[in-house]
Amino acid sequence: MTWNEKHRPICFIDIKGQQLAVEKIKAFTKNFGLEKKAVILYGPPGTGKTTLAHVAALETNAEIFELNASDLRNKEKLENILKPAIQQKSLTKKKKIILIDEVDGLSVSDWGSISTLIYLISITTYPVIITANNIWGKKFADLRKKCELIQIKEIDYRTIKEILISILKKENLFISNDILTSIAIKVKGDVRAAINDLQTISNFKEVQPSFFDERNKEIDIFNALRLIFKNKATTELLNVFDSVNLSLDEILLWIEENIPAEYKGEELAKAYEYLSKADIFKGRIYKQQYWRFLVYENILLSYGIAAAKKSAKTGFTSYKKPERILKIWMHNQAHAKKKSIAQKYSKLVHVGEKRAMAEFSIIKQIVKSNSEIQKQLKLNEEELAYLNN
């Protein structure tokens, strides 16, 4: 049996580091029927969402009816499984909690089942608990309205350490403080990962703090952004991009995209000032091929962006991928037609291409409605399509 199962909390007081969420879920089960019929527990992996649902069932003496994303794949299946469950009285006449785990595991083609899910929530006679990592996508907009949202935060490394120590006590084992700290920090808020690491490490007699390499999560950049945007500036932040699998230039774009999601007013201005200076150093690196400037680019982007804020920030922010490059690319695709039309036009009327581009909106109006001119310019079909778009 894995330690994760063996030491899974069985009552609310065993759940560490999620007091607010615990209170909310207590209120939800207690007052069921008065307000919303479903809750969404959302937060990063390994922070105790599923555990919290199970504990809620145990504490209220209810049995749990569990579904996961694969059961949601298609509408019919969902309705066949879930509809009887939400209406039928439980065989043992016990109370019941419906758990829908990892709803964001749905792929694009399964979106249709979300509307079915929303309908089923509206007719359910039992409380529904839904878990998800990220609930902020557009596809969940309607679902969010029907549910109470409860945030499950990443767990503080000190709390993770406490959990690890309590497990070691029960297992009657000892592992050095350094190693525990090192595990607790490296898992970046993921308790499940911490307990897995602890169990693995307990099999060895001698271990070094650096026994495990950090998990290379796909969300590394998101973590890095969270560290920079949420925390106060500390020198540890200087290494924050080391584990990120992106170049500093790409990271710069990520930061550019997400500054306004996090900072307002003076913080915003300051953050952009540091960003713009980082960008200047980036330019100098390329121009002068002087790579030591990378040091400054890195400091401005990590410590600098963090230092732009007055105090640490809380709450979950869903960071976006940089969109600018994509927008420019998409525009250039369209732009290519504009340019080729301007080129043909400028040849015909003795005017520079650049001027034709600058006055394109008026020229477009002229060319668009005149097939004779279109023939003169020898516009091809793609260019004509661009005009009429």
> Residues in the site for another protein, rule: CB under 8 A?
252, 256, 260, 264-266, 268-269, 271-273, 275-276, 279-280, 282-283, 287, 324, 327-328, 331, 335, 338, 345-346, 348-355, 357-363, 365-366, 368-370, 372-373, 376
* Cβ within 8 Å of residue 84, ≥6 positions away: none
Q: How far is the CB of 69 from another protein (least distance, A)?
A: 32
* Cβ within 8 Å of residue 226, ≥6 positions away: 317, 319
Identify which of residues 272 and 303 has a Cβ nearer to another protein in the complex.
272
Q: How far is the CB of 374 from another protein (least distance, A)?
A: 9
Question: Which phi and psi (to 5°) does residue 358 adopt?
Answer: -65, -30
Calculate Rg over the CA atoms of the chain. Answer: 28
Q: How far is the CB of 295 from another protein (least distance, A)?
A: 18
CA dihedral 6, 11, 17, 23 (to 10 degrees): 150
CA–CA dist 185, 234 (Å, integer): 15
Q: How far is the CB of 255 from another protein (least distance, A)?
A: 10
Q: How far is the CB of 349 from another protein (least distance, A)?
A: 5
Q: Which two tokens stand for residue 174?
A: 């000892």
Q: How far is the CB of 70 from another protein (least distance, A)?
A: 37
Identify which of residues 144 and 364 has a Cβ nearer to another protein in the complex.
364
Identify which of residues 55 and 341 has a Cβ nearer to another protein in the complex.
341
Exposed/middle/buried for 306, CB within 10 Å: 0-12, 13-18, 19+? buried
List, as one string, the DSSP characters of 200-269: HHTT-SS--GGGSPPP--TTHHHHHHHHHHHSPP-GGGGGTTTT-SS-HHHHHHHHHHHHHHH--HHHHH
* Cβ within 8 Å of residue 304, ≥6 positions away: 233, 271, 274, 277, 278
The residue among 120, 138, 266 whose CA lies nearest residue 130 is 120
Q: How far is the CB of 389 from another protein (least distance, A)?
A: 12
Q: Are 81 and 67 in contact (CB under 8 A)?
A: yes
Q: How far is the CB of 332 from another protein (least distance, A)?
A: 9
Identify which of residues 19 and 365 has a Cβ nearer to another protein in the complex.
365
CA–CA dist 176, 184 (Å, integer): 13
DSSP label at 313?
-
Identify which of residues 119 and 296 has a Cβ nearer to another protein in the complex.
296
Identify which of residues 229 and 272 has a Cβ nearer to another protein in the complex.
272
Identify which of residues 35 and 249 has a Cβ nearer to another protein in the complex.
249
Identify which of residues 5 and 372 has a Cβ nearer to another protein in the complex.
372
Q: Which two tokens stand for residue 158?
A: 């000190």
H or E segment at 75? helix 75-87
Identify which of residues 238 and 373 has a Cβ nearer to another protein in the complex.
373
Q: How far is the CB of 268 from another protein (least distance, A)?
A: 5
